[in-house]
Amino acid sequence: MALKNLHIIRNIELDPEDILMFESDVNYSLIWLQNGRKLTVAKTLKQISEIVKDAPFVRVNRQVMLNAFHVKCLGDNTNKQTVELNNGVKITFSRRRAADAQNYIQKYLIN
């Protein structure tokens, strides 16, 4: 499925498949790219979620919205639900978002 490029900031368009996740830092967000780079943008995760609503991104906790295409596996780490990305980063789900996020990610792990 070909996704259209995301226009996140003025001069930069990114392919959604190149983005691993977004991480919030107060009123800024870090964009983690597949090639290991991190970009900082002056947008909150709420603003970014509006931009990426048609792409396979899911909010898993207060600070992180990840790309379901880059999930390696779902795992259980002493009763805390976690997810591991293709680059080895492990992220813990918040209790409130865990069920919805896991169901969303499961659809992409099966395909």
Per-residue pLDDT of the chain (111 residues; tens, 9 = 90+): 456 677 676 777 888 899 999 999 989 999 999 999 999 999 999 999 998 888 899 999 999 999 999 999 887 655 568 888 999 899 999 989 988 998 899 888 876
Coil, helix or strand at residue 77: strand
Separation between Cα atoms, residue 20 and residue 4, nearest integer Å: 16
Query: What pLDDT, on a 0 to 100 scale, did the predictor assign at position 13?
Result: 83
Cα distances (angstroms) measured from residue 37 to each of 30, 84, 97: 10, 18, 27
CB 76 within 8 A of CB 62: no
Q: How far apart are CA 56 and CA 15, in angstroms?
A: 12
d(CA 54, CA 16) in angstroms, rounded, equals 10
> Two tokens at 71?
């999930």
pLDDT recorded at residue 77: 57
All structural domains of the chain, each given as residue ranges with its CATH number in brackets, are 15-110 (2.40.50.1020)
- pLDDT value of residue 96: 92
pLDDT given at position 58: 94
What pLDDT does residue 33 have?
93
